[in-house]
Amino acid sequence: MFVTAVAAAVILTDVADALDFSTCGKRQYTARERRCNDDKNYLQIYNITTNAPFDPTINKHYFYRNQKTSFCIAGKASGITAPVPSLQSAVHSVGYLFIVPVRQSHCGVEKDACKVMKPECGTLGPHALYPGQDFCACLELTIPNFARAGIDVTVTYNLLGVDGELDGKCEKEQDSAKLRSKRKEKILCMQLDGIIKEK
pLDDT for residue 96:
82
SS3 per residue for the chain: CCCCCCCCCCCCHHHHHCCCCCCCCCCCEECCCEECCCCCCCCEEEEEEECCCEECCCCEEEEECCCEEEEEEEEECCCCCCCECEEEEEEEEEEEECCEEEEEECCCCCCEHHHHEECCCCCCCCCCECCCCEEEEEEEEECCCCCCCCCEEEEEEEEEEECCCCCCCCCCCCCHHHHHHCCEEEEEEEEEEEEEECC
Q: What is the mean pLDDT of residues 136-146?
A: 86
User: What are the sequence ranges of the domains in the chain?
Assistant: 13-197
Give me the pLDDT at residue 152, please.
Answer: 93
Class of domain 13-197: mainly beta
Residue 101 pLDDT more than 80?
yes
Mean pLDDT of the chain: 86
**Is residue 5 scored above 90 in pLDDT?**
no
More confident site: 9 or 125: 125
pLDDT for res 8: 27
Task: State the average pLDDT over residues 104-122.
Answer: 91
Would you state the pLDDT for residue 4? 37
pLDDT (tens digit per residue) in 42-95 = 999 998 999 999 999 999 999 998 888 999 999 999 999 999 999 999 999 998
Q: Flag whether pLDDT at 186 surpasses 90.
A: yes
pLDDT at 10 over 80: no
